[in-house]
Amino acid sequence: MGAIKTKQVERPFSRVERHKLLEWFYLKDDKGEFGHAGQWAIKRDFDAQNPDPELLKIIYSDRSLPTSINPPSATSQPSLVASMLELLKLQRGMNVLEVGAGTGYNAAMMQEIVGRTGHITTIDIQDDVVDQTRRLLKASGYGGIEVIAADGAQGFPQNAPYDRIITTVGCPDISFRWVEQLADDGFMLIPLQHGGEGFDPLVRIWKEGERLLGRLVGFSRFMSIQGELAIKQRPDFGDFVALRSREPTAVYPLFGIFKEMVESVKNKQEDQFIASLLFMVIVGDKKPFNWVNWVPPSFWDEEKGVVVIRENGIALYGDESLLADLKSLSDQWEGLGRPGFFDWRLEFLPRDRVPEIREGEWAWVIERKFSREIVRLA
């Protein structure tokens, strides 16, 4: 698939045995007994000492495997793990903080790269996850990884400064405690939520003098972080699933970029429309606020309702002025020359700081829980 680009990342994939960091996982099944947010699943127990060949095929396929339903936890999709490891640019001897321990799979990968002279600290807010992960990592030969039970937003100052900080959960905001614990020449790799839950551009963030700057470097879809950084997702996933099952107020013909979105989804070429979705999230902000459900793409406005982009047209649930809002955003994107996913420059300020934007600058401000994100077009 091309996710592994260097020998440095290829090596841990040949050494870390994913199945030895699992004792069970959940598979989607409409008849399953475990339900959350409108979806159902079955639990499959797994014995690493006597592995079921069919379950091994699933474990070593390119898929995320949920290991807890509510609250959620999972082992990430291997191709995403590889992409993020490439973006981290780890070196021997580095000190790394990971927020979101999961099964310990990613932490073990990083430990292989930083070697015996490096150190990995991984944090998870769920005590039972920490207990299991600590035990399985030790049994797999990675007992030197520190697995901490705590709210990841606090970081872990005892082991700071960190050359790299990575979160393996979707974050509605950054934590300034991470910034304090980051080495001056280090950087963070954060799946930073833009728009709705599950639309998580990978953002590299670093310190430059007194400024905190960032660039988009990739894309991901993660479960959302719990604890201090968490927000109430809008709309709730279960409510949205229920809404989509109803008859729409009206259905309008597809136009412009939305025709391309439908074709991209059908052809599994998501990269072609992620750039336009990101633009709508940033520029439209909450009018319409973007809540991305990939099949089909969907847009939400707190006061007006929801529009869903389907193969047969644009389905409206609410005020018809939402269609005009979408068309306006689409026209702006076209008028600016279709800005790409990597054409943005980011800066982060505490909420009590007023952003400075020059006259005529193509810049927007995203208000987050603890920070203000200034997003500029290059």
User: Confidence band (pLDDT; 50, 70, 90) for 250?
Assistant: very high
Indicate if the pLDDT at residue 291 is higher than 70: no
Sequence letter at residue 354: V
Catalytic residue annotation:
76
Average pLDDT over residues 19-23: 97
Average pLDDT over residues 197-219: 94
The confidence score (pLDDT) of residue 295 equals 57
Indicate if the pLDDT at residue 69 is higher than 90: no
Average pLDDT over residues 20-38: 84
The confidence score (pLDDT) of residue 287 equals 58
Q: Is there a contact between 306 and 265 (Cβ–Cβ < 8 Å)?
A: no
Indicate if the pLDDT at residue 311 is higher than 90: no
What Å distances lie between residue 100 and 111, 169, 190, CA to CA? 15, 6, 11
Instruction: Single out the residue of 371, 375, 28, 358 nearest to residue 175, CA to CA.
Output: 371
Average pLDDT over residues 205-231: 95
CA distance 78 to 106: 9
CA distance 344 to 282: 10
Cis peptide preceding 161, ω within 30 of 0? yes
- List, for residues 336-358, the tens digit of each pLDDT value: 999 999 999 999 999 999 888 88
**Percentage, residues of the chain above pLDDT 90:** 65
The confidence score (pLDDT) of residue 244 equals 67
CA distance 124 to 19: 20
Q: Which fold has domain 7-220?
A: Rossmann fold (3.40.50)
Higher pLDDT, 38 or 75: 75
298-301 vs 24-28, strand pairing mode: unpaired
Strand order in 95-99's β-sheet? Answer: 146-149, 119-124, 95-99, 162-167, 182-191, 200-208, 211-220, 344-350, 371-377, 363-367
Cis peptide preceding 288, ω within 30 of 0? yes
Angle made by CA atoms 245, 191, 213, in degrees to the nearest 5: 135
Q: Is the pTM of this model over 0.75?
A: yes
Where are the alpha helices (H) located in 51-126, listed in sequence order?
53-59, 78-88, 105-114
- The residues, any chain, with a CB within 8 Å of residue 308's CB and separated by 6 or more, are 244, 248, 296, 297, 298, 299, 314, 315, 317
Average pLDDT over residues 311-330: 88
- List, for residues 257-282, the tens digit of each pLDDT value: 888 877 877 777 776 678 888 888 88
Higher pLDDT, 240 or 258: 258
**Percentage, residues of the chain above pLDDT 70:** 92
Any idea which residue has 């260097």 for tokens? Answer: 6
The confidence score (pLDDT) of residue 305 equals 83
Q: Is there a contact between 48 and 20 (Cβ–Cβ < 8 Å)?
A: yes
Instruction: Single out the residue of 103, 121, 204 nearest to residue 161, CA to CA.
Output: 121
Indicate if the pLDDT at residue 288 is higher than 60: no
Cis peptide preceding 235, ω within 30 of 0? yes
Instruction: Single out the residue of 252, 253, 251, 270 nearest to residue 261, CA to CA.
Output: 270
- List, for residues 78-87, the tens digit of each pLDDT value: 999 999 999 9
Return the sign of the alpha-carbon dihedral for residues 367, 371, 373, 374. Answer: positive
Enumerate the CATH 3.40.50.150 domain ranges in the chain, comma separated.
7-220
